A and B are shown apart, each in its own frame.
Chain A
């Protein structure tokens, strides 16, 4: 059998999003096949369909020559498909052995620990994956935890191993270890599906690569016969969307200066590594990058929602030790990435949401009592200025469409006369008209002499709006380039980890 997996014409729709659109994929037995694509390309949906977590709307999958119809992960596992998810499916308080055999325990009412451990040691020796079966998973490093996930697949006799963004949480050394393991497995005849957005890794480890974009499979290539340039082009596409008219920036003094900012999470992972940059009046600094490379943590650190080390200087003042509210008061506005979870209280009215950050100030309240007249008049004014529909301040935020919810947030943040506006994914999920409107407002703000820090996963948006573009990869800023001369390809390469070539 030459092909271990054949995907023919798989399509899957969620609501009005076509997550997979006639996807076709062939994986040869014993090869490392990479799937390359940006966020929203459809990679995870496809994997979940193969693994039995979703049912496709149409199309067929053949595994080892047989048509694959699984009703759930248990069946997929039994057929020989193993998956290592991006977010580990592990139980920290259980031991390695317990985690590995869960669901496929040795036969018998009593849990036969000895037999489980014995088999695990056998497998770990066979595939050269050293592990202590008695260790508690919660005590292990991320790299070791991933090893447990891989062992899980082989405990169940996987012949096809799907790795979903496996290096997302690994240190460089752990990534090296992983690649050694992958080559080892290949030598043993295991087929591997390697999902990633990291170009350098794909070039290094894969035999063939399939590029996905917007739910479609674009092209499959032999890795040796292609180049990073070509892959970047395919990944990022050439469609041209809206181009906003904008003048040259009229730069003023520095509003925000970030020096050696680092963010370390509770589990020890460093999400932001020693980042420095500045934003000046009258300019838009865009931060580009694939989701998960530290952009969110960077923004939260600047606003004070997450702890960080390093200096944050705003209009000449050090603010890294100030609480969030004080930072807002100094003149920072913040449009968060998840408007429903963070930016709005859905059970509050539009009016109540508009004053979410200033309800405690005059004229909206006086000595602890809310002044509804002032709140309503402000809400009315902003609703009309930002064209929120339906124009009713009494409506609950949860009853507005996504686009209008975003307008409420915009209205709130813009009207606070900030010196710096931080906008994260400001047009996510919105239609063309709304996107154009928001882009216009952002340019207006910039032309009036304010500074804007724009974080977006949409390369088009970054290219259209930004005056300068900083690209984040793995917690670091790869480079900051002038948008005038920037090309998609150039940014695409930076986004996937390829440093600017030293001259």
Chain B
């Protein structure tokens, strides 16, 4: 019974992935005039083929997992947190600042301090403005979170380009964080850090939160049926704000982990890309924390493997994005499958109208 349920929820994403890879294969065939199967093998081995590649995949997966968890929390509550990218940045900014400014703290105090502060910052960035705005004025969180994203990015530019967080010299970047703030490297000569454990811990925490606590129960109720939640006496407005806050907190954590584990300083760039990919992760995973891990590994693998594929076959790594876009598209038009199934079952094309409310 359980297996059947799991299979049913995987079916849609799997169909979508399958169709998308076929379409991607056709594109390769036409434009690069190469054997798509060979290209996909290169992709796969580039992602998981050997220890180094796998380590790189894992490194890319860590921020996707953590941010994906955040986005999944929002989706579960019926909210579209498109601005995870901005909350990621805020977490990164806070982590960097606390990372280089605070000296003389042992790592077992420094790192948790950074984590907590980054999560609070992310929570405020998501919960305060977009969350409250949604609840009290109905402002749609898609736009507000996206605007907050841009504000966060420009804020980081301000801090780095001749601003208070800029390192000595001419390059717009922050000072390197203290050693006590750096996460240890797991596999030598890779960027894979013990952030992996933080990611795993996050998965466990979110799983417990969503399925074992009263708050998780309430968030899911609100996401599934807001009217029933009100009928049951829940304080829906409070739950929505909390959902946005939690979502932002995890995105902020992801930013912090990225700084502490991979970058060690803040760079002046436009996008990490993790915020938007995390949305895909949550969609593929159907908001399930375990699914987030699998989806994150898949997407991280796609991007890592794409680089390998590019080296071996000269096919641009951007193909990964093409496939990802197609996957989401095929998931979004799930109505089509319903229509096809109905057609197969009854031989009719139109569903009967639902009738007569007197």
Contacts and interface: CB of A to CB of B under 8 A. Distances in A.
Same complex for A and B? Answer: yes
Interface of A: 12, 14-15, 17, 19, 39-45, 48, 54, 305, 323-325, 328, 334, 336, 341-348, 352, 356-357, 359-360, 365, 368-370, 372, 394
A329 to B, nearest CB: 9
Nearest to A361: B214
Nearest to B234: A325
Contacts of B217: 352, 359, 370
A328 B233 contact: yes
Nearest to A300: B231
21 contacts: A15-B355, A17-B355, A19-B356, A39-B358, A42-B358, A43-B358, A44-B356, A44-B357, A44-B358, A48-B356, A324-B233, A325-B233, A336-B231, A344-B228, A347-B225, A348-B221, A348-B224, A357-B233, A365-B213, A368-B213, A368-B215
A54 to B, nearest CB: 7
B232 interface: yes
Contacts of A343: 228, 231
A45 B356 contact: yes
Given A341-B225, A347-B224, A348-B224, A369 B233 contact: no
Contacts of A342: 227-228, 231
A107 to B, nearest CB: 33
Given A325-B233, A356-B232, A345 B356 contact: no
Given A369-B214, A370-B217, 9 more contacts: A44-B358, A324-B233, A341-B228, A342-B228, A343-B228, A348-B220, A368-B214, A372-B212, A394-B1
Contacts of B230: 305, 324
B353 interface: yes
Contacts of A325: 233-234
Contact of A14 (B220, B232, B355): B355
Given A344-B228, A348-B221, A357-B232, A17 B356 contact: yes
A43 B357 CA distance: 10
A40 B352 CA distance: 20
Contacts of B224: 345-348
A37 to B, nearest CB: 8
A14 B356 CA distance: 7
Interface in B227-245: 227-235
A42 B356 CA distance: 8
B214 A346 contact: no
A65 to B, nearest CB: 29
A374 to B, nearest CB: 13
Interface in B306-355: 352-355
Contacts of B229: 345
Instruction: Sort A-B residue pairs by CB-CB distance and give the 7 closest, nearest first.
Output: A14-B355, A325-B233, A19-B356, A324-B233, A347-B224, A45-B356, A342-B231
A485 to B, nearest CB: 30
A360 B234 CA distance: 10
Interface residues of B, number: 26
Interface string B201-227: 000000000001111010011001101
Contacts of B358: 39-45
B221 A345 contact: yes
Contacts of A40: 358
A12 B352 CA distance: 12
B173 to A, nearest CB: 42
A341 B227 contact: yes
Contacts of B233: 323-325, 328, 357
Contacts of A348: 220-221, 224
B260 to A, nearest CB: 29
Contacts of B357: 44
Nearest to A215: B356
B201 to A, nearest CB: 18
Contacts of A369: 212-214
Given A341-B227, A345-B228, A356-B232, A45 B355 contact: yes
Contacts of A44: 356-358
A343 B230 CA distance: 10
B225 A370 contact: no
A365 B1 CA distance: 27
A368 B214 CA distance: 5
Given A44-B357, A45-B356, A45-B358, A370 B231 contact: no
A323 to B, nearest CB: 7
A495 to B, nearest CB: 15
Contacts of B228: 341-345, 356
User: Which of B221, B229, B353, B356 has the most CB atoms of chain A within a 10 A radius of its CB?
Assistant: B356
A347 B357 CA distance: 25
A329 B115 CA distance: 39
B225 A346 contact: yes
A305 B221 contact: no
Interface in B1-16: 1
Nearest to A44: B358
B118 to A, nearest CB: 23
Contacts of A334: 231
A19 B232 contact: no
A365 B355 contact: no
B349 to A, nearest CB: 16
User: Which of A14, A17, A42 has the most CB atoms of chain B within a 10 A radius of its CB?
Assistant: A14
B220 A370 contact: no
Nearest to A304: B233
Contacts of B225: 341, 344-347
A370 B353 CA distance: 41
Contacts of B215: 368
Nearest to B357: A44
Contact of B212 (A41, A42, A324, A370): A370
Nearest to B2: A394
Contact of A54 (B1, B227, B353): B353
Nearest to A356: B232
Contacts of A14: 352-356
Contacts of A370: 212-214, 217
Contacts of A341: 225, 227-228
A43 B234 CA distance: 39
B286 to A, nearest CB: 12
Contacts of B353: 14, 54
Nearest to A291: B358
Nearest to A323: B233
Contacts of B234: 325
B129 to A, nearest CB: 26
A336 B231 CA distance: 9
Contacts of A347: 220, 224-225
Nearest to B223: A347
